[in-house]
Amino acid sequence: MLKYMTKTLLLVTFALSIPVVSSASDLHNKWHEIVSQHVVTIDNGHSTAVDYAAIKQHHGELRAYLNSLEAVTQDGFKQWNKEQQLAFLINAYNAWTVELILTEYPDLQSIKDLGGLFSSPWSKKFIPLLGKTRSLDDIEHNLIRGSDKYNDPRIHFAVNCASIGCPALLEEAYTGEKLDEQLHAQTVRFLSDKTRNFAQDNTLNLSSIFKWYGDDFSQGFNGAMSLQQFLLQYSTALALTDKQRIALKNDAMTINFLDYNWELNAHQ
């Protein structure tokens, strides 16, 4: 009897040590608190800066959130709907990127400083997620982009690589219930930023994101079978004139890709 009770007590103690995940919605409450308190809106609302120093001072809160993500099993993940799954993956990517920055902050100027001679910071396998040790590349390119399940190019305006050139790190957590609204707002937010996307005469100057991931914007999202068709859905955000809209529709606009700013998106 004593042996049985001891074994039972050990099992209960182990169970209590695992972070409790109540639902797909509640899971991201801690991340919401972190970003709402420590992500600062800048550039007239077009972008954000991250107060890494403040997050590092309260590192335990971030670690608690990351532990709760780790506790999600593949079976539990599969029970969520598509929106809940995608929100989980975006939040996980962003939170683990912040964690990666904190490993060396403030002694770095760019996330690229965390790479090695023959490796990039995005290829490092340090993330315990859904039963495997993963890299940021694995989350973005395999779990998110590599699945026909999601097929939403707007994720490129949601995942954040801790750089000034990136679309803003959202000041709230992504949730399945609000995901479509959040992705639309982030897309408009980024495309309307004249420092990173703007039309000038017959030339459309775009972020290099559209060069690196151009194929993602021609996979039929909302009927768009080309980058031009995708951008036409956001012609108001891009402030295109009628003449420019017609030129873009007829593939008669020159597209120029701008240099990308890899400097750390830290709040000073």
Asked which of 143, 178, 193 is the last residue of a domain, the reply is 193
Residue 9 has pLDDT above 70, yes or no: no
Are 69 and 141 part of one and the same domain? yes
Percent of the chain beyond pLDDT 90? 87
State pLDDT tens for residues 57-107.
Answer: 999 999 999 999 999 999 999 999 999 999 999 999 999 999 999 999 999
Predicted TM-score (pTM) above 0.75: yes
CA dihedral (233, 237, 243, 247) positive or negative: negative
Sheet holding 198-200, edge to edge: 198-200, 203-206, 254-257
Residue 211 has pLDDT above 80, yes or no: yes
Domain count, the chain: 2
Are 53 and 126 part of one and the same domain? yes
pLDDT in the model for residue 119? 83
The more confidently predicted of residues 6 and 198 is 198
Q: Which stretches of 198-238 are DSSP H helices?
A: 209-212, 227-232
Are 28 and 158 part of one and the same domain? yes
SS (H, E, C) 107-126: CCCEHHHHCCCCCCHHHCCC
57 occurs within a structural domain? yes
Instruction: Give which of 157, 119, 113, 150 is closest to 135, Cα–Cα.
Output: 119
Residue 5 has pLDDT above 50, yes or no: no
Range of the domain at 231: 197-259
Tokens at 176, concatenated: 């399945």
Tokens 């891009």 label which residue? 238
The more confidently predicted of residues 87 and 7 is 87
4 occurs within a structural domain? no
d(CA 240, CA 197): 11
7 occurs within a structural domain? no
| 102, 117 Cβ separation under 8 angstroms | no
Are 76 and 207 part of one and the same domain? no
pLDDT in the model for residue 268? 83
The more confidently predicted of residues 7 and 166 is 166
Per the omega criterion (within 30 degrees of 0), is the bond before 153 cis?
A: no
8 occurs within a structural domain? no
- C-alpha distances (whole Å) from 140 to each of 9, 39, 72, 160, 256 are 40, 22, 18, 10, 25
Are 51 and 170 part of one and the same domain? yes
Band of the pLDDT at 2, cuts 50, 70, 90?
Answer: very low
14-18, 134-138, 204-208: which has the minimum mean pLDDT? Answer: 14-18
Are 47 and 148 part of one and the same domain? yes
266 occurs within a structural domain? no
d(CA 24, CA 28): 8
State pLDDT tens for residues 21-53.
Answer: 447 779 999 999 999 999 999 999 999 999 999
Asked which of 177, 193, 209 is the last residue of a domain, the reply is 193
Phi, psi of 111 (to 5 degrees): -60, -25
Are 111 and 216 part of one and the same domain? no
Are 104 and 116 part of one and the same domain? yes
State pLDDT tens for residues 152-179.
Answer: 999 999 999 999 999 999 999 999 999 9
163 occurs within a structural domain? yes
28 occurs within a structural domain? yes
Percent of the chain beyond pLDDT 70? 91
Tokens at 32, concatenated: 């919401």
Residue 10 has pLDDT above 70, yes or no: no
Are 187 and 253 part of one and the same domain? no
pLDDT in the model for residue 63? 98
Asked which of 138, 169, 193 is the last residue of a domain, the reply is 193
Q: Which stretches of the chain are DSSP H helices?
A: 2-17, 29-38, 52-57, 59-70, 74-79, 82-102, 136-137, 179-191, 209-212, 227-232, 242-249
159 occurs within a structural domain? yes
Residue 219 has pLDDT above 50, yes or no: yes
pLDDT in the model for residue 19? 41
Chain-wide mean pLDDT for the chain? 92
Are 125 and 189 part of one and the same domain? yes
Are 64 and 133 part of one and the same domain? yes
Are 70 and 172 part of one and the same domain? yes
pLDDT in the model for residue 118? 75
The more confidently predicted of residues 88 and 119 is 88
Please state the separation of Cα 226 from the chain's center in Å: 23
